[in-house]
Structure 1
Amino acid sequence: MAPTESPRRTSLLRQLMGWLLLPLALLAALDLWITYRDARQTATLVQQRMLLGAARMIGQQIEIQDGQPNVVLPPAALELFASPYADRVYYRVTQANGELLLGYPELPPPPQPPAPDEAVYFDTWQNQQAVQAVAFSQPVLSAPAQTTLLIEVAQTLVGRDALAGEIWRSALWRELGLLTGVALLLGLGLRRGLRPVTRLRDQVLARQPGTLEPLPSRHLPTELAPLADAMTDYAARLDHHMSAHSRFIADAAHQLRTPLTVLNTQLVFALRQSDEPARQEALRAAQTTLQHGTRLVQQLLSFSAAEANRSRPDTLSPLDLGQTAREVLERLALLAAQREIDLGFEAEGQDGHEGPDGRQAERFEVTGSAHLLHELCANLIDNALRYTPPGGAVTLRLRRPPGQVLLEVEDNGPGIPPALRERVFERFFRLDNQQSDGCGLGLAIVREIAQAHRASVQLGDGPQGRGLRVTVAFAASATAAAGTPA
């Protein structure tokens, strides 16, 4: 058999760090993207200002000689672009008719001519290199006839991209440093904040086995106090559960010890008898004691099964309670006849189906366990038969009010005083004024099975105010409640 792998544990500190740092990292990434976009805009704006400045310097040096404009390139116009990057600068000055006065003739014109004394920025290509260009319209007022010159200045993008990269890298290192500092501070803060959890763990681990005293929650943070209270509540419920089991085991041992001791005494007595009739009588008495012990063991097993089934509601399925009740009555009919008790069955309902004998057989459909409901009916009938004197009557009745299925077992025996009707559900509790071979588990098993089926049990007076009526109220199954045939 291959060894099972233990489940991988996750660190609460890591989870908190992740949930805190991940949004910060996403925000930092968004901020870096915005910073990069702004850096490119800033670098582009700087380059455009330099291009326009150079174009204006060239325009200021325009002179009119012999009625024609004369353009001289001032050195300061090119010194504006001085940088450690190998950028190329291109320029061109043309008249309104397109005549070249100065510069590179292959420099492309702007997509649209600018208005007088206005500038147009555009991206283009020069010698297979991307460039940023400006086209400035320079009016020449000293000319005999008013004219306008078009001054173009372009520069490659190496310096612009380098400036944008420097601005972005500066922001990147700043963001990384900020995230690192935040991570360190978060780690220290979370470790300090999780110390109460560690102390609570140490308090739980330091307890001695079996100690179920409440955990102190006064000095715990607000978020941990409910956890400590829940652990205290669970410890109290566990203590109650374990105490109940301990009492059950002790009571069961006590109840079993008595019939076993009596059985041993009866067998020893039978072995010592030489008179055959006396030996037979002792053996019959031993057989009765053995039957009583066997029934006690069966009821103990039934009670344990009902307790286990309370935590497993997934094992329940739709079934016909009427069929289960009929099977129990058939099995206990001989016992009722031996005790000279009239055992009857009544069923009340509206819709049903044809039974095997051709008569209308009602369906009382509930959601439950067939075995446990069989035990519930058997304990109710058996309990009534044991406490009803000869000549009495025991009736099992099924009714179906809206949304419910009621199982009633009534007898005309001595009944149970109202003051003791809650105590009879306790394990091994027996009334002092009733003589029977029961062991005090019948009604305890009934309530346990009813609770496993989310049903209620009520005790009332029998017919004409005599005897006992036990009513178990079940919720009708979904198909029965909807009126759908099973």
Structure 2
Amino acid sequence: MKASTRPLRSLRTQLLLWLLVPLILFVGFNIWVTYTNAIQMATVVHDRMLLGSARIIAEQIHYEDDVLQVMIPPAALELFQSDSHDRVYYRVVAANGTLLAGQLDLPDPPHKPHSEEAVYFNASFRDDPVRIVAFSQPVFGVPAQGSVLIEVAQTQHSYKALSDRMWEHTVLQQLAILVLVVLLLLLGLRHGLAPMMRLRDRVQRRKPGTLEALDTAPVPTELAPLVHAINDYVQRLDDHMSAHGRFIANASHQLRTPLTVLNTQVNYGLRSDDAQTKDAALRAINKGVQHGIRLVNQLLTLSNAETGIGHPLRQTDVNLIEIVQTVLEELATLAQTKNIDLGFEFHGTPVMVHATPSMLEELVANLVDNALRYTPAGGIVTITVTGDATVARLCVEDNGPGIPVAEREHVFDRFYRLHQDRSDGSGLGLAIVREIALASQAEIALSCPASGRGLIVTVNFPALPKKAGDASDAEEPHPP
């Protein structure tokens, strides 16, 4: 058997992926949220430093000698000292727009803040992105002078460095947690799958041919359905192998008996010097060979029919009437030999079924042959084919001894013969019929004629829709 090249993933790998993929997605989302929070946190810290510097400058504004005086204390700028070497800019403007201190070209805020209100905004100053706070400070004691606008700006190197450090720290924590979770998952999966591995080892340690049921006690609840399914399969396999063994034993017995008889007849013919005795032995040998050939053919047909149940042979649309006519032509000689009235009743319209032609012919042949063998000389065997929109029906009726109701189920068993003293059959005919019917999705029923004597075997096939132009004007043939 050619090995499959399709890659197989272990259950451990699949479970790990199902657990890790959502976890990785969650970690990725959390990293994005952390990055956003880091930027917001850095912005808050940066804005508070800017506002603190602006308030320190505002505290140093006073009115002296009718002039607003502004002194920039060193503490206002020392707040921004860092390793990033950011540049700090400031501007102090009187209410009338007079520059009191700082850079005149520092950008104006989006709107003028109210008294003691701070406005934060981003801008570009001297080709550098800066963060600016604009703070309105009233001049106490001289209300007429209005509010002084104080702006403090800083380049964003330290701001970016702060947000990056906060984000990197959180990312490292998340990755460390993820690695730890992966290790714990691997350990957990190894421990969780241990019962399955032990179940595998128990199965692998079993000797070939052992068909005992597995014990469900030591397995977890989740594995119990699997063990039950294995036990059910083992039971069905045991039944199949037992039936197979019985079939082989019965087939061997059926073949051994005619071969033994043939050997006896050959020895008898060889020892005899009389020509008539030799001819009688040869005729007996010929009859035994024909019986053996029929038995072998029936065994092969039964095997093919059983194969057709799980793996249907090539099926096509077949006219059941034509199949029956072919079979009757082959068995007409046997009917004439036993002086049996063999009749065929059907309408001119074809009755189509979907089946394997050779198997369907074998089914009809076994039913008719079985009827001819059990019907006494001078009896009647009638085959009827009818059909409608749902069912195509084949009936084989005889006036032989029939089959008691209690025995009708057993006659489909292999090598089962109801009247062993009246027939030279092998007991495979109806078994073959049942297997072919199953492969063709047909149903078999046994019943008794209205006369109370004989047997009717009815096989119902799923009918196929009739096609236009299929009607036939052929006349019903006379019984052969």
TM over 0.5: yes
2:428 corresponds to which of 441, 448, 456:
441
Residue 227 of structure 2 corresponds to which residue in structure 1?
228
Q: Which amino acid aligns with 2:372?
A: L
TM superposition shift of 1:433: 5.9
Secondary structure of residue in 1 paired with 2:222: coil
Shift of 1:468: 0.7
Aligned to 1:355: none
**Residues 427-466 of structure 1 correspond to what in structure 2 (within 5 A)?**
427-432=414-419, 434-466=421-453
Q: For each residue in 1:52-101, what CA deviation from the matched residue of structure 2 results, as whole angstroms up to 9, or x when unmatched?
A: 12112212211123333222112221122122221111111123443322
Counterpart amino acid of residue 306 in structure 1: A
Report the CA distance between 1:463 and its aligned residue. Answer: 4.8
- SS at 1:207's partner residue? coil
Matched to 2:17, the amino acid is G
2:179 is aligned with 1:145: no
Do the aligned partners of 2:388 and 2:463 also contact (CA within 8 Å) in 1? no
Q: How much does 1:290 deviate? A: 0.8
One-letter amino acid of the counterpart of residue 413, structure 1:
G
Take 1:82 and 1:318, find their aligned partners in 2: how far apart are those partners? 95
- After TM superposition, the structure 1 = structure 2 runs for residues 157-236 of structure 1, keeping only pairs within 5 Å, are 157-236=156-235
The aligned residue for residue 378 of structure 2 is 391
Question: d(CA) in 1 for partners of 2:352 and 2:148?
Answer: 102
Moved over 4 A (4+): 2-7, 483-486
- 1:318 positional shift: 3.5
- 2:399 corresponds to which letter in structure 1? N
Distance 1:138 1:104 in 2: 18
1:303 maps to which residue?
A: 302
Alpha-carbon shift at residue 7 of structure 1 (Å): 4.7
Q: Could you tell me how far apart the structure 2 residues matched to 1:221 and 1:70 are?
A: 85
Output the CA distance in 1 between the equivalents of 2:214 and 2:421: 47
| Aligned equivalent of 1:475 | 462
- Could you tell me which amino acid in structure 1 is paired with residue 460 of structure 2? A
Q: 1:329 to 1:99 in 2, by over 3 A?
A: farther
**2:134 alignment counterpart:** 135
- Give the distance between the partners of 1:448 and 1:314, measured in 2 at CA: 13
Structure 1 Cα separation of the partners of residues 343 and 143 of structure 2: 134
Matched, 1:270 2:261: no
Shift of 1:204: 0.9
For 1:304-323, list aligned pairs within 5 A: 304-313=303-312, 315-323=314-322
Q: Secondary structure at the match of 1:264?
A: helix
Q: Which whole-Å deviations, capped at 9, do the CAs of 1:355-388 have from their partners, x for residues lacking one?
A: xxxxxx3232333222211111111011111111
SS at match of 2:187: helix
| 8 Å contact kept, 2:95–2:145 | no
List alignment gaps of at least 5 residues for structure 1: 349-360
SS of residue in 1 equivalent to 2:218: coil
Report the residue type matching 1:23 in the other structure.
Answer: P
Cα 1:342/1:39, change in 2 over 3 Å: same
Partner of 1:105: 104
Q: Measure the CA separation in 2 of the matches of 1:405 and 1:3.
A: 42
Cα distance, 1:404–1:434 mapped onto 2, change above 3 Å: farther
Distance 2:39 2:294 in 1: 92
More moved, 77-86 vs 192-201: 77-86
Letter in 1 for 2:216: S
**Aligned pairs, how many?**
470
Match of 1:32 in 2: 31
Aligned counterparts of 2:382 and 2:65: Cα–Cα separation in 1: 137
Partner of 2:310, secondary structure, is coil
Q: How does the TM-score come out when normalised to structure 1?
A: 0.91
How far, CA to CA, are the matches of 1:438 and 1:445 in structure 2?
13
Change over 3 Å in CA distance of 1:225–1:334 after alignment to 2: same
2:50 is aligned with 1:51: yes
Partner of residue 242, structure 1: 241
TM-aligned CA distance change 1:140 to 1:315, over 3 Å: farther
Cα gap change, 1:289/1:433 in structure 2, threshold over 3 Å: closer, same or farther?
A: closer
Instruction: Report the 3-state secondary structure (helix = DSSP H, G, I; strand = E; otherwise coil) of the residue aligned with 1:410.
Output: strand
**Could you tell me which amino acid in structure 2 is paired with residue 26 of structure 1?**
L
- The one-letter code of the counterpart of 1:428 is F
Distance 1:31 1:484, change over 3 A: farther
> Cα–Cα, structure 1 residues 484 and 89, in superposed 2: closer, same or farther, change >3 Å?
farther
Change (3 A) 1:430 1:106: same
Q: In structure 1, what is the Cα distance between the partners aligned to 2:420 and 2:314? A: 40
Q: Shift of the alpha carbon at 1:199?
A: 1.2
Partner of 1:407: 394
Deviates more, 1:456-465 or 1:434-443: 456-465
Q: Are the counterparts in 2 of residues 91 and 103 from structure 1 also a CA contact under 8 Å?
A: yes
Q: Which amino acid aligns with 1:409?
A: V
Inter-partner Cα distance in structure 2 for 1:323 and 1:128: 99
Q: Any conservation in 2 of the 1:407–1:473 contact (CA below 8 Å)? A: yes
Q: Deviation string for 1:24-77 (max 9, x for gaps)?
A: 111011111101100100100111111112112212211123333222112221
User: Structure 1 residues 59, 368: CA separation in 2 closer, same or farther (over 3 Å shift)?
Assistant: same
Q: Distance in 1 between matches of 2:318 and 2:142?
A: 112
Q: Give me the whole-angstrom Cα distance separating, in 1, the residues matched to 2:469 and 2:224.
A: 52
* Matching of residue 88 in structure 1 with residue 75 in structure 2: no
Q: SS at the partner of 2:451?
A: helix
For residues 314 and 346 of structure 1, the distance between their equivalents in structure 2, rounded to whole angstroms, comes to 29
Whole-Å Cα distance in 1 between the matches of residues 55 and 127 of structure 2?
Answer: 27
- Residue 346 of structure 2 aligns with an amino acid whose one-letter code is A
Distance 2:349 2:237 in 1: 44
TM-score by length of 2: 0.92
